[in-house]
């Protein structure tokens, strides 16, 4: 369905809602223009270009470390909140050479309320399966000037706040060009034989990269810290690798290939708790899957979380084992057995960015801190738009004494 039969399926109708809120981007586009823009944007996520973003990624990580260092006594952090703000700043700096920490802090209550309400609507709509026109109508509510009840008002304020911030950065950059390796310059300069990218599309891609590019990564990192706290042997091996390779200094792009266990820890965490736990698709024509007839218009869910725990592909699937992702491992696994970034032609274009960002965050925070669980706090996965800790993830940060 994601590979050989992909032409029989499009992204499901809730993407109509996301399209109206975020705009038409690679994430939401179902038109023929998708292939054109995918080709146009692919170079900005090539390894060579991503390596040029490392310094921009590191700045917000350094700032978080400095902020933690100023705290006295017992340091307790809500790891979900910390990772949300950190990844938003990393993406913002990589995209615009500008961080969004104050915006993120101000948006937090609105985002929580708006997302919770949106998730409740999605649950109802997934069962009722309304036509696309209903999704589009619901999305347009976010842009109406009329007074709205609190849940819709939160969504409206989020959209307006982000939209204004992104347009300001784009317009400033067009008026005052700067020589920087950030992704916005690539978006503004991207072109093919038909010409450049329309400015509205630049805005849509930028907003999508900022929002879709940080929330799932933040959840993946949060679960990773949780799993490391439960698996001290894997954590100690990661510390040893980081200390040996980096010897206390700030990582560079050249260091990343020398951190295979640290990378494998993140990859295994996404298998164990995949943020994109289910991938919805809608049949655009009649099809047959495994001998079962699928009618046009039927919504099909690809259960990524279940696939990631299938013992046919993952021996002892409830065991946290980063060795599954070490070089040379898993050669016999089908590619569709691991779907943290989707699969097939429409897989996430930013997966290389997400892995690089996450390994840098993991390595730099682990150079200075050990994160342990707060005793007695309930940890329960909540499957909404993404898979995240239902009651947050408070952790205690302890300074590491590294012998160099």
Whether residue 130 has pLDDT greater than 60: no
Instruction: Identify the three-state secondary structure at position 382.
Output: strand
SS percent in the chain: helix, strand, coil, step 5: 60, 10, 30
Mean pLDDT, the chain, as a whole number? 85
pTM of the model: 0.89
Annotated binding site: 348
Q: Percentage of residues in the chain with pLDDT exceeding 90?
A: 56
CB 95 within 8 A of CB 211: no
- Output the pLDDT for position 108: 47
Is the pLDDT higher at 230 or at 277? 230
CA–CA gap between residue 80 and residue 100 (Å, rounded):
17
pLDDT tens per residue across span 221-272: 999 999 999 999 999 999 999 999 999 999 999 999 999 999 999 999 999 9
Domains and CATH numbers, the chain: 6-399 (1.10.630.10)
> What phi and psi values does residue 32 have, to the nearest 5 degrees?
-65, -20
pLDDT tens per residue across span 293-329: 888 878 888 899 999 999 999 999 999 999 999 999 9
Whether residue 350 has pLDDT greater than 60: yes
Edge to edge, the sheet with strand 75-78 lists: 75-78, 394-399, 369-373
Whether residue 393 has pLDDT greater than 90: yes
- Using CB atoms within 10 Å of the CB of residue 210, give its burial: 0 to 12 exposed, 13 to 18 middle, 19+ buried: buried
pLDDT tens per residue across span 142-159: 555 556 556 556 666 767
Rounded average pLDDT over 386-394: 92
Residues 6 or more apart whose Cβ sits within 8 Å of residue 381: 273, 387, 388, 389, 390
Q: Percentage of residues in the chain with pLDDT exceeding 70?
A: 80
- Output the pLDDT for position 120: 53
Annotated binding site for heme: 348
Whether residue 109 has pLDDT greater than 50: no
């Amino acid at each position: 369905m994601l590979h050989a039969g992909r032409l029989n399926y499009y992204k499901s109708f809730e993407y109509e809602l996301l399209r109206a809120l975020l705009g038409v981007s690679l994430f939401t586009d179902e038109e023929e223009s998708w292939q054109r823009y995918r080709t146009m944007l692919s170079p900005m996520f090539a390894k060579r270009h991503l390596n040029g973003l490392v310094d921009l990624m590191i700045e917000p990580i350094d700032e978080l470390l400095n902020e933690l260092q100023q705290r006295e006594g017992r340091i307790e952090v809500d790891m979900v909140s910390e990772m949300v703000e950190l990844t938003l700043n990393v993406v913002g700096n990589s995209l615009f050479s500008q961080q969004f920490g104050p915006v993120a802090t101000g948006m937090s209550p609105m985002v929580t309320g708006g997302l919770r309400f949106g998730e409740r609507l999605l649950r109802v709509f997934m069962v009722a399966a309304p036509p696309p026109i209903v999704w589009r109508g619901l999305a347009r509510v976010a842009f109406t000037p009329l007074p709205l009840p609190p849940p819709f008002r939160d969504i409206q304020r989020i959209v307006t706040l982000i939209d204004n911030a992104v347009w300001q950065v784009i317009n400033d950059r067009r008026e005052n060009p700067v020589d920087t390796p950030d992704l916005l310059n690539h978006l503004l300069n991207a072109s093919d034989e038909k010409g450049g990218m329309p400015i509205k599309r630049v805005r849509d891609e930028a907003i999508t990269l900022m929002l879709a590019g940080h929330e799932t990564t933040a959840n993946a990192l949060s679960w990773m810290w949780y799993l490391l706290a439960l698996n001290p042997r894997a954590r100690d091996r990661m510390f040893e690798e980081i200390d040996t390779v980096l010897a206390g200094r700030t990582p560079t792009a050249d260091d990343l290939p020398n951190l295979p266990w640290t990378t494998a820890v993140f990859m295994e965490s996404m298998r164990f708790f995949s943020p994109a736990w289910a991938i919805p698709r809608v049949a655009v024509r009649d099809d047959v899957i495994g001998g079962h007839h699928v009618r046009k218009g039927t919504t099909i869910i690809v259960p990524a979380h279940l696939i990631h725990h299938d013992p046919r592909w993952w021996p002892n699937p409830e065991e946290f084992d980063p060795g599954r992702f070490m070089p040379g491992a898993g050669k016999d696994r089908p590619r569709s057995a691991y779907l943290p970034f989707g699969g097939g032609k429409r897989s996430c274009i930013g997966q290389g960015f997400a892995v690089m960002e996450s390994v840098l965050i993991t390595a730099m925070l682990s150079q200075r801190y050990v994160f342990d669980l707060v005793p007695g706090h309930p940890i329960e996965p909540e499957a909404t738009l993404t898979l995240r800790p239902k009651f947050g993830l408070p952790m205690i940060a302890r300074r590491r004494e590294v012998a160099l």
